[in-house]
Chain A
């Protein structure tokens, strides 16, 4: 059964039944899922959760899905690793990495999409759609394949074909759209209004968002049912950042963890950092900007959940930090070379942001800090192609000794 009771506008409080809608009819603000937390609290326990599958679906009771079978390709319960080597570099004694590279399509998007596609089927859609240049597209295409549903994936025409292999392999209807990023945004917003499709991050967005909470649930459970002191996570639309917070708050409300005193820090690429700008300017409004960064997986200039992410960073006593492309690449290399984790450039932004926050003293050495690495490196490995500098030897020992200077 589901404990979800309906949808509620985050701004004006208007309530709606659980249906595929994108924004509040009255004030055009985002809507989110409401639950009967009292009934949930009476039924849920740490033990009940621990007895569930080792995937994100162990938290099914906290998700807005009804009785049908979930569309699960094995997402979630990714490793939370103590990062002592990286911690030493950054001056942090209690640093953990939540490695969401290890999801089935190599990013945290699987969490959100698994819930969204499950809901799409519940709502009776036979087609799901999204607009994406990489991670979201792959995840939607993979889940649609598993669900035997049709998928339409829209991509700006100037995306390099090589980037689309990990999407096309699941055989969605891959549509390249001529024009700018803004043109693709506009077309997809219109398509979502006119076609009876489950548009993953538009009319299914309230449900899509809920899947991301499972990252917060897992972190708390893996820490022995406690919230960390600090969380550092990337922000594109701001959705993941807000849902990690919501996940921790829900566990606290359900008395599964102590009251949450986590400081939430968001990181963005400097070339696409409207939320960081608003934070630094003390503004209440996130003004859109045109992204200009090679960190494409988090290049969103008009973030749908920007306001909420900004508020959480402020109200939790956290902060916001940006990293240049160069710093992000440095962060990727540092993570790989200290902890053996090859993250995408967004992970580099997190590590570079964390480095600054630790150096500034915003995050103290003894704070239990979790850095969220949300996508794997190989999909966009060209950004660090300069690391390939092999030693070239002839096939004999002498040459080996000479070139590498290693004695037997």
Chain B
């Protein structure tokens, strides 16, 4: 089992969508929210995903497809 710590950033039109619920039902991924801030026009959630590598990979790809931005929680690693 692998773990991946990520930040989801939701655009306005996705705020009301139960993305995290669907992520844990469509894929074998345990979602564990650690911090979040959601308002009427924007939102972000910092969470840990646990599951087989392939499941996490597929789940994250699905979340991105839905229009949610997914970033590593350590911020951008590639520096100038």
A residues near B, CB below 8 A? 11, 22-23, 26-29, 109, 130-136, 154, 156, 181-182, 184-186, 188-190, 192-193, 201-202, 205, 236-237, 284-285, 287-288, 296-306, 346, 375
- Give the docked Cα–Cα distance between A227 and B4 (Å): 42
Which residues of A lie under 8 Å from residue B80 when comparing CB positions?
Answer: 132-136, 236, 296-300, 346, 375
Contacts of A156 in B (CB 8 A): 78
Across the interface, do B35 and A185 meet the contact criterion of CB distance under 8 Å?
no
Do A133 and B71 contact each other (CB < 8 Å), given the known contacts A28-B5, A28-B34?
no
* Chain A residues whose CB sits within 8 angstroms of the CB of B78 once the complex forms: 131-133, 154, 156, 181, 184-185, 188, 300
Contact, CB under 8 Å: A236 / B35: no
A189 touches B44 (CB 8 A): no
Q: Across the interface, do A300 and B46 meet the contact criterion of CB distance under 8 Å? A: no
Task: Considering the complex, give the chain A residue whose CB is closest to the CB of B60.
Answer: A186
Contact A303 B5 (CB under 8 A): no
8 nearest A-B pairs in the assembled complex, by CB-CB distance: A304-B75, A297-B80, A189-B72, A188-B77, A131-B78, A136-B79, A300-B76, A302-B71
Tell me which residues across on chain B come within 8 A of A201, comparing CB atoms: 77, 79
Give the contacting residue for A131; candidates B9, B35, B71, B79; CB below 8 A: B79
Q: What are 19 residue pairs bridging A and B, where the CB atoms are less than 8 Å apart in the complex?
A: A27-B35, A109-B79, A131-B77, A132-B79, A134-B80, A181-B76, A184-B78, A185-B72, A189-B74, A192-B74, A192-B77, A205-B74, A237-B79, A288-B7, A288-B71, A303-B76, A304-B76, A305-B75, A346-B80
Measured CA separation A28–B44 after assembly (Å): 14
Interface residues of B in 17-50 (CB under 8 A from A): 34-35, 37, 42, 44, 46, 48
Chain B 54-80: CB-based contact to A (< 8 A → 1; otherwise 0)? 000000000000000101111111111
Q: How far does the alpha carbon of A192 sit from the alpha carbon of B74 in the complex, in Å?
A: 11
Contact status A300-B34, CB under 8 Å: no
Chain B contact residue count (CB 8 A cutoff): 23
Given the known inter-chain contacts A28-B35, A28-B48, A29-B35, please indicate yes or no for A185 contacting B76, CB distance below 8 A.
yes
A210–B23 Cα distance when bound, in Å, is 38
Across the two chains, which residue of chain B brings its CB closest to A300?
B76
Most buried by B among A22, A28, A192: A28
Selected from B9, B35, B44, B75, the residue in CB contact (under 8 A) with A300 is: B75
Q: How far is the CB of A383 from chain B (nearest CB, A)?
A: 13
Which residues of the partner chain B approach A297 to less than 8 Å between Cβ atoms?
80
Cross-chain contact B46 with A28 (CB below 8 angstroms) = yes
Let me know if A202 and B77 touch, CB within 8 A.
Answer: yes
Contact A28 B72 (CB under 8 A): no
Q: Which residues of A contact B69 (CB under 8 A)?
A: 288
Name the CB-closest residue of A to B35. A27
Which chain B residues lie closer than 8 Å to A134 at the CB level? 80
A391 to nearest B CB, angstroms? 35
A285-B79 contact in complex given A28-B73, A189-B72, C-beta closer than 8 Å: no
B9 to chain A, nearest CB (A): 6
* Residue ID in chain A nearest B32 by CB atoms: A28
- B9 pairs with A287, CB closer than 8 A: yes
Known: A27-B34, A288-B69. A300 touches B74 (CB 8 A): no
Residue in chain B with minimal CB distance to A238: B75
Complex Cα spacing A109 to B38, Å? 35
Q: Which residue of A lies closest to B43 (CB)?
A: A285
| Nearest chain A CB to B5 CB, angstrom units | 5
> Quick one: closest B residue to A183, CB to CB?
B78
B42 to chain A, nearest CB (A): 7
Give B40 Cβ to nearest chain A Cβ, in Å.
Answer: 13
List chain B residues, Cβ under 8 A from A237.
75-76, 79
